[in-house]
Structure formats: C-alpha cells, structure tokens
Amino acid sequence: MKPFLVLMIEDSAVDAVVIRGMLSKVQATRFNVESVKTLADGISRLDRGGVDVVLLDLTLPDSQGLESFQRVVKAAPHVPVVVLTGTDDLTMAATAVEEGAQAYLVKGKIDARKLIRTVRYAIQHVEAEHAEWDSPMFRLAQQQFMKAAQIMNLDDNVRERLLFPQRTLVVTLPFRRDEYSEVENVFGYRVQHLLTAGPTKGGIRYHEDVSLGEVSALAMWMSWKCALMHLPFGGAKGGVRIDPTGVSRHELQRLTRRYTSEIIGMIGPDKDIPAPDMGTNEQVMAWIMDTYSQQVGYAVPTVVTGKPVVLGGSLGRREATGRGLVYLVEEAAGHIGLDLKHATAVVQGFGNVGSNAARFLEELGTRIVAVSDVSTGVYNPRGLSVTALAEYVDQNGTLIGYPDGEAVSNQEMLELPCDILVPAALQNQITGDNVERIQCKLLAEGANGPTTLEADEVLHERGVFVLPDILGNAGGVTVSYFEWVQGTQNYMWSLEEINSRLHRILTDAFQRTMRRAQRDQIDVRTAALIEGIQRVAEAKLVRGLFP
C-alpha cells in the first residue's frame, strides 16, 4: 500500500516531534511525514507535488494567522489542510475551517487516534470532492476503448453510450469497530456498465484506492470480458474504499452486511450478481448471500457467485481464474513456439489468482523463478516450490523471510529474466517507466489493467506476446457463469465437466481473438477488445432505443 505523504508546516520542534511520533504509531495506514519550519519552505515543497495532506500551524516565522492558510490553498488548491492550533488561537482556526480547511486540532489535546482519523478523513473528503472519476484506471479503460472503437469504426452513437457506465451508486456507510464506541465511515460503490443483454456481473473489491472511477473502469472491462466469452451478462463492479487488512473478521462482517444492505436494491439473481475480487473471498460472498436472503425471507444462493460450495458454490470456482490463465498460456505458448516444460515464469501476486496460476504452471513443468505478495518478492533462479511457498504463507501470513530464495523488490521482480511474466496483483504495473526493461516473451495478465497503453505499444513493437486481462483472467467469471447456471437450474456439475467447459470457452475466445488480430494486423489486446465491443454494439443496435 502506498503511504500517504503528510507535509507538516510547524515551527515548534517539540510539537513536530510529538505529532510525527503519533503518526508513526499507525499500522493500518502508513504515513510518511516531511516537516518544514517556515511557510516559504512549505510552499516550495507543495510546488514539487505529491503531498496528500498538510498539517499547518497558522503562526509561523514568515506568516501569521489566516494568511498562512490562504497562501497554502493558493499553492495547492486540492490538497487538504488540517490546522494545528494552540488553545489561544481557536477562533482563528475555526475561521480557517469556515474558509475550507478540513479540520483543526488543538495542540496538547491531540491523541494518536484522533490525529490519524482526522488526517485520514481529510484525505478522503477531498478525494470524494475532486477525484471520484479522476482515476488513472478509468482513463486507461476509456483510452483502450476509444482506440478499439476507432480501429473498428464503431458507430458514434454507440461509442458515446458505452464510454460511461449506465448506472452508478455511491454510498457512504458506517460500521462499528470492535471498540464499541468507535464508528467508521467509508465510501462504497456499485457500478453497472451495460444492461443490454442480461443481468450485470462483476466482483466486489475492498481496497484503499477504490473510487468511482476505478470501479467504473473495472465494470467496463467486465462488459468486454463477458461479451468476448459469449456469456449473457453485462459488466458491473463494486467496492468499498478500505484496507481490509486493517479490520478484524467481525468488523469485516459488519461492514459487508451494511454495504450489502446499502446496494440491495441494485443486486439480485436476475439483476446484478456480485463475486469476489481483490480483498474479498468466499466468506464475504456468504455474508452477502445471507444478508440478501434475510431481506427477502428465503435463501437466494444465486445472488452471488464465488460462494462456498456448501452454499451452492461451484466446484472449481476458487481456482478458476488461475486455471483459465494457464489454459490460455498453453495456447499462447503454442503460438510463439515456447516449450512450457523448459520455460521459466515470474508471478507477481500470491493471492487467489497468482498462487493458482503458479501452481498450474508448475504442474506443466514450468520453473517458477520468482513470486511476490504485498510484503516482498522472492527470487530463486533454480526454481521455487509452489507448495512450500503456500505452506509458508499459510503459517506466516506473508512471504517475508521465506528461506529458499533471495528477497527482491516488486520492481526488480518485474524486470527479472523469464519467459512468462504473470502480473496477478495490482493495476498499473507495466508502464512507460519500466517497459523497456521487461524481459519476458509472454505477458499473461491475471490482474485487471496491469499494463498502460504506452507500455502496450512498446511490447507490441518488441514482439512480446500479451495475453490481455479481459481474455487472460476471464476464467473466473466464466466459472461464475457456470455457478449461476447450476444455481438457477438446481443442477450440480462435476469438476471435470466444469474444467472441460471452461477450457472450451477460453480456447474458443482465444482463437477468435487471434484470427482477428492476424486478419486486421492489430495487437492481441485490441483484437480481444474489438471482439467484445462488436458483440455489445450489435446487441445495442438490435434492441433499439427506448422510447
């Protein structure tokens, strides 16, 4: 998780040390604190950018009172300011709040908990006001779409219609901390991009970067992904802006139930069917299913997919994304003449997708030379045992200290020599900054949006085979579809049946995509996008316009 940068403009060395000490106490949210003693230094630091929040003493050697606040706002209008004040300056601090400061804190009366909450909420408020749509991921999703639309000569009316989601819901929701008197307020979202050809489908993400823009990008990708797979769904996505590692299991349950009840009018087995995504899992799906079922008065397992098997979850759903990715790696390897028995792979992310992809690659004889999680990367050119890694993570929580390899940073790991690179963690990993140093022959995207448009073009020129996210990670939603079909028909399929259907659907989509890429002389991502978009456009046009 990226730490927040706190700029403290405070001339009292004692106060600065006390506040810095309090901010360093946080576990769930990390703060980097930079402090300066004069307003001039503060403003020149703000000019360099990257500051998430300012803690401002109004009385400084080179500026006094409200003027200090006004000059900070002028230098950085969208950076939240929390005023630090003494008991004698309360009126002035209150005026600063009236003029737009987020809050004030009285020095000498602050405790660490209050300080951290105030700083976190200040950042959150400004983000809610200015940056809901302004997300790099949404820009990427729109750019990819516009590029594909231009190449395929998409009807202008349809293009405008698809550029933004059809329905969005933003909620704020409270949940009680285990410390009973403490209530946390967080932002939640559900976005439905396309309601043309069936219910909407897509995961729910719990992560501290979630915003309306990010969820909308993910919902748009779900539309293309489902259409590319010929699944009868439109794209959706949901999320809550929270770091799930900073809450207890009880807190997570209360949060999930409240979030579900806030979006309950939007979801349903024929309307919109959530599933797991980053930061959520089968247990979270079970709580959503239970909350929904309590509302309607009977059990409705088909309101979610990716739920536990005992509640009607599908066999093979948990590992479906990783398994599907490896089915497609086999296809792509055949295409570029790569022998998987003698190949090496680097897998970024050791969550559900990354760990299963690594396991299935290992089963095919590929040597896994590096893996990573949020804490660290582990590199061993002789090969890592995926079973041993999984056992270690089970026991220790993270990969830190894994004995049979060398620790590497996330950036170093992406640049290691290997045949196959599997980004299966966050978005925005392969960018203009590092693409020249990426050494793989095959980039198999498990994560959504790991590669920027700029990096894409370089990879294409260099002849790296890109298995794009909407194809590469579509195994998850495909088995979600099987789960929904089994649920709505009260059927139970065997694992063999599920895997063979999955294989058929994925390889068919792969072949259609490759045919288009070759015929139109375009990169594989654009070909996959066009395959999806074309189907959506046809469906839109044939339904016609109401009224």
Q: Which residues are catalytic?
A: 237
The least CB distance from residue 197 to ligand GLU, in Å, is 15
Q: CA quadruple 300, 302, 303, 309: dihedral positive or negative? A: positive
**Residues 6 or more apart in contact with residue 286 via CB below 8 angstroms:** 307, 308, 311
Helix (H) / strand (E) element for 295: namely: helix 282-296
Identify residues 28-87 at the interface with ligand GLU (CB under 6 A).
none
Count interface residues toward ligand GLU (CB under 6 A): 12
Give the interface segment with ligand GLU, choosing from 15-23, 333-341, 454-462, 476-484 (CB under 6 A).
476-484
Only one residue has tokens 């809050």, namely 103
Residue number with CB closer to ligand GLU (80 or 239):
239
Regarding 448 and contact with ligand GLU (CB under 6 A), the answer is: yes
Task: List the one residue out of 484, 465, 475 whose CA is nearest residue 524.
Answer: 465
The least CB distance from residue 476 to ligand GLU, in Å, is 4
CB burial class (10 A; 0-12, 13-18, 19+) of residue 542? exposed
The least CB distance from residue 306 to ligand GLU, in Å, is 6
Query: What stretches of 49-199 show up as alpha helix (H) in DSSP?
Result: 66-75, 90-98, 112-130, 136-152, 156-162
Apex 103 CA angle, 102 and 108, nearest 5: 150
Please identify which residue in 473, 486, 499, 513 interacts with ligand GLU, judged by CB under 6 A.
473
The least CB distance from residue 202 to ligand GLU, in Å, is 5
Give the interface segment with ligand GLU, choosing from 190-198, 328-336, 366-374, 475-483 (CB under 6 A).
475-483
Identify residues 264-283 at the interface with ligand GLU (CB under 6 A).
275, 277
Residue number with CB closer to ligand GLU (224 or 402):
224
The least CB distance from residue 275 to ligand GLU, in Å, is 3
Query: What stretches of 229-281 show up as alpha helix (H) in DSSP?
Result: 249-262
Q: Which residue(s) pair with 175 in the sheet? A: 184
Residue number with CB closer to ligand GLU (94 or 195):
195
Task: List the one residue out of 370, 349, 386 whose CA is nearest residue 439.
Answer: 370
C-alpha 285/C-alpha 279 separation (Å) is 12
Apex 158 CA angle, 155 and 162, nearest 5: 135
Q: CA quadruple 505, 506, 508, 513: dihedral positive or negative? A: positive
Q: Both tokens of residue 279?
A: 């930061």
Please identify which residue in 35, 63, 68, 305 interacts with ligand GLU, judged by CB under 6 A.
305
Residue number with CB closer to ligand GLU (85 or 480):
480
The least CB distance from residue 203 to ligand GLU, in Å, is 3
Task: List the one residue out of 322, 323, 321, 304 whose CA is nearest residue 313.
Answer: 304
Residue number with CB closer to ligand GLU (320 or 346):
320
The binding track of 402-441 with respect to ligand GLU, each residue x by CB under 6 A or -, is ----------------------------------------
Q: Both tokens of residue 178?
A: 């285990």
Regarding 323 and contact with ligand GLU (CB under 6 A), the answer is: no
Regarding 480 and contact with ligand GLU (CB under 6 A), the answer is: yes
**143-153 as b/e, with b when 16 or more CB fall inside 10 Å?**
ebbebbbeebe
C-alpha 56/C-alpha 89 separation (Å) is 13
The least CB distance from residue 229 to ligand GLU, in Å, is 10
The least CB distance from residue 138 to ligand GLU, in Å, is 15
The residue nearest ligand GLU at its CB is 203
CA dihedral angle for residue 367, residue 370, residue 373, residue 377, rounded to 10 degrees: 160
Regarding 9 and contact with ligand GLU (CB under 6 A), the answer is: no
Give the interface segment with ligand GLU, choosing from 7-15, 344-352, 398-406, 472-480 (CB under 6 A).
472-480
The Cα-based distances of 151 to 146, 241, 538 in angstroms read 9, 35, 16
The least CB distance from residue 269 to ligand GLU, in Å, is 13
Please identify which residue in 313, 316, 476, 532 interacts with ligand GLU, judged by CB under 6 A.
476
C-alpha 162/C-alpha 49 separation (Å) is 34
Regarding 240 and contact with ligand GLU (CB under 6 A), the answer is: no
Q: Both tokens of residue 330?
A: 């086999």
Please identify which residue in 93, 343, 408, 477 interacts with ligand GLU, judged by CB under 6 A.
477
Only one residue has tokens 């005992």, namely 310
The binding track of 186-225 with respect to ligand GLU, each residue x by CB under 6 A or -, is ---------------xxx----------------------
Q: Which residue(s) pair with 118 in the sheet? A: none
Residues binding ligand GLU (CB under 6 A): 201-203, 275, 277, 305-306, 448, 473, 476-477, 480
